[in-house]
A and B are shown apart, each in its own frame.
Chain A
């Protein structure tokens, strides 16, 4: 029903009409009319953050754990620029966000007014799309379109910049149904894949002798149905399954067909199988450089099927033999259906030699590590955390570094949407706010940020948000007193010269937790670890757990820069890791 209201009221009404229950934000002069409208309603709950970057990661955690759009509201100028890291993170990892930024009044735009910045200019390359709304009557359409674009096709962040005078102006509000199709007739993302291509893919799968499913975040984005179909297809075919960092949880970690994560810190079996397969079925992943390793030696003998909703991902980094542009869930559903029409047998016998070879690689136990009675090994800490939380509805977020990779390796998931990490951008400081966002969406679930002591200090202040809203997040810090991943690369590439990769003065995390009004726990003795973890889990409120771990543990296995999949450094590697990478590989990231 068309109704007259102010721009600020339209923003709130559009949020309600698009199913938004929570938004993460921080006020400021240019955003005050929207905040005033927010104050006078109770349908949308606003979570007040401590830094706008925190708001964006909270919205990401919220989105990734629910499948809904995460919403951010910030003021002009510094509010908008502080949101840039999270927007870029969401773009890289295809997370649906709508970010509303306030802007100086239209009459002042371009005058270097107080707290003015060129928000649409700055964010053009870190959003899927953005808008500057100069007329209040455009606002309803833009808001609805923003939600549509954020959450359809390959999801991503959409920004709507609203000058203060537009927030005050009166105009006609129309709901999403009254506005109908989005104005942009140019925007029509792919949905179902080409039927003949899918049939051809199934025919290739029926002939494969050394097949592998290589899956990614696209399956999570498609929704829980897609994970169901993947499990069904894996069962029907009997093929092994590996996944990127972003796809973890789409396939159960307990399933015997699960190979573990692939790529730079993936398992030996997953990477060897990628290298030696004859048919690679890539679904919702993008052949990122962390996955392929040295590209001219990537999987030399394979035929490759690539399913992706974004046509530009196909053939971008590697050759593809059969491309299917479509939503991974719909394509998987079709693959299941066609497979069933052709056979009711998995290819167990035909691929038995392949599985035998895989078992051989598995027996290398590439995730192995030397445990200790005296110091806590970080991998061990994660394994104990996993055991202590097994069977509970647990959501894991991470920061960026060694702890992130160890979490991916040692904390298996049974369900999608339970693993939130910054993959494409690798943003230190993602995990704590992301955990806050997840906890807002799932108040009764157990939400744990597996953190590093360096990363967690980047957005530590969001502990205050967690305390304010009674969000009992657990921040499990693997404290090696090092930027461990940087230290590892300095050992690999720079002769062990540790330029600025350690902190001279870390805070006392226990006191810090208490200062914020949370609980602090410290543990450095492997024998006391289980009890300390239990104490953390039993506490009804936010916890910082300072887990003092081995300082010089390397994160292995690893494909070093410039090497192919079949030249991994395994944990039983005794030599000097500084001698592995050649001169050319040194230039790579």
Chain B
């Protein structure tokens, strides 16, 4: 879990790490076959890399391809290793470091349950509107909101909901894609 704190590679690496850890979003194009997610996740845990967020779903059914989006925190040197190690896996086609390749689009979806009454409900709805959160379930004492956007926007929305009666949250993890005409 602390890969960024540990100098990689050698048992004899006594030098202090000089590189700073960075947060990067990787997009991994893989064959959609049994065990592929376990291979990718197993590689991260076996080699001591971080996973901050992970999403996976089939994206091209006819070709049997899935895309895995991983957010990780590591030094530039370890980031290169992560990419190369992922590419060694037989069912992995390509790995793109979206963060290194320019400003990628990053989105996440959250479902946020808030319970309360009176003035709190009014305030909750006002804030939800400002964040373009949709009400997807309502009772007389609760709402469930669907909110999408950058993770930081979702963080802010959730923070605002805490004093208004936040009950629970689920988040999908990050989905990311590069800008412009080119695909992976």
What is the 8 Å Cβ interface bit string for chain B, positions 27-49, against chain A (1 contact, 0 not)?
00011001100110011001000
Question: Is A292 within 8 A of B93, CB to CB?
Answer: no
Closest residue of chain A to B7 (Cβ to Cβ) is A295
Is A347 positioned at the interface, with any CB of B under 8 Å from its CB? no
Is A316 positioned at the interface, with any CB of B under 8 Å from its CB? yes
Closest residue of chain B to A124 (Cβ to Cβ) is B42
Task: Given A311-B87, A316-B81, answer yes or no on A124-B11 (Cβ-Cβ < 8 Å).
Answer: no
Chain A contact residue count (CB 8 A cutoff): 31
Residues of B within 8 A of A (CB): 8-15, 30-31, 34-35, 38-39, 42-43, 46, 77, 80-81, 84-85, 87-93
Is A253 positioned at the interface, with any CB of B under 8 Å from its CB? no
Chain B hits for A132, CB < 8 A: 34-35
Task: Given A124-B35, A184-B31, A186-B30, answer yes or no on A312-B14 (Cβ-Cβ < 8 Å).
Answer: no
Question: Is B85 within 8 A of A312, CB to CB?
Answer: yes
In the complex, what distance in Å separates the CA atom of A296 from the CA atom of B13? 7
Residue in A124, A186, A293 whose CB lies within 8 Å of B31: A186
Question: What distance in Å separates the Cβ of B81 from its nearest Cβ neighbour in chain A?
Answer: 6
In the complex, what distance in Å separates the CA atom of A287 from the CA atom of B10? 9
Q: Is the interface of A mostly helix, strand, loop or mixed?
A: loop
Is A540 positioned at the interface, with any CB of B under 8 Å from its CB? no
Chain A hits for B10, CB < 8 A: 287, 289, 292, 295, 317
Segment 165-202 of A: residues with Cβ below 8 Å from B = 184-187
* Contacts A295-B12, A310-B88 known; 20 new A-B pairs at CB < 8 A: A124-B35, A124-B39, A124-B42, A125-B46, A184-B90, A186-B31, A186-B91, A186-B93, A289-B10, A289-B11, A292-B12, A295-B9, A295-B13, A296-B14, A311-B87, A312-B85, A317-B13, A561-B12, A588-B11, A588-B12
Segment 310-368 of A: residues with Cβ below 8 Å from B = 310-312, 315-318
Chain A hits for B15, CB < 8 A: 295-296
In the complex, what distance in Å separates the CA atom of A335 from the CA atom of B184? 34
Is A294 positioned at the interface, with any CB of B under 8 Å from its CB? yes
25 pairs from A and B in contact (CB 8 Å cutoff):
A124-B35, A124-B39, A128-B90, A129-B89, A132-B34, A186-B31, A186-B91, A287-B9, A289-B11, A292-B10, A293-B12, A295-B10, A295-B15, A296-B13, A296-B14, A312-B84, A312-B88, A316-B81, A317-B10, A561-B11, A561-B12, A562-B12, A562-B14, A588-B11, A588-B12
Is A120 positioned at the interface, with any CB of B under 8 Å from its CB? yes
Chain B hits for A315, CB < 8 A: 77, 80
Is A149 positioned at the interface, with any CB of B under 8 Å from its CB? yes
List of 5 A-B pairs having minimum Cβ-Cβ separation, nearest first: A296-B15, A317-B9, A312-B84, A289-B10, A186-B93
In the complex, what distance in Å separates the CA atom of A184 from the CA atom of B88? 13
Question: Is A149 within 8 A of B12, CB to CB?
Answer: no
Question: What distance in Å separates the Cβ of A576 from its nearest Cβ neighbour in chain B?
Answer: 23
Chain B hits for A294, CB < 8 A: 12, 14
Chain B hits for A287, CB < 8 A: 9-10
Question: What distance in Å separates the Cβ of B33 from its nearest Cβ neighbour in chain A?
Answer: 9
In the complex, what distance in Å separates the CA atom of A539 from the CA atom of B106? 73
In the complex, what distance in Å separates the CA atom of A149 from the CA atom of B89? 11
Is A2 positioned at the interface, with any CB of B under 8 Å from its CB? no
Closest residue of chain B to A296 (Cβ to Cβ) is B15
Is A579 positioned at the interface, with any CB of B under 8 Å from its CB? no
Question: What distance in Å separates the Cβ of A166 from its nearest Cβ neighbour in chain B?
Answer: 15
Task: Given A312-B87, A315-B80, answer yes or no on A185-B13 (Cβ-Cβ < 8 Å).
Answer: no
In the complex, what distance in Å separates the CA atom of A296 from the CA atom of B34? 42
Q: In the complex, which of the residues A125, A186, A310 has the most CB atoms of chain B within 10 Å of its own CB atom? A: A186
Chain B hits for A149, CB < 8 A: 90
Chain A hits for B87, CB < 8 A: 311-312
Closest residue of chain A to B15 (Cβ to Cβ) is A296
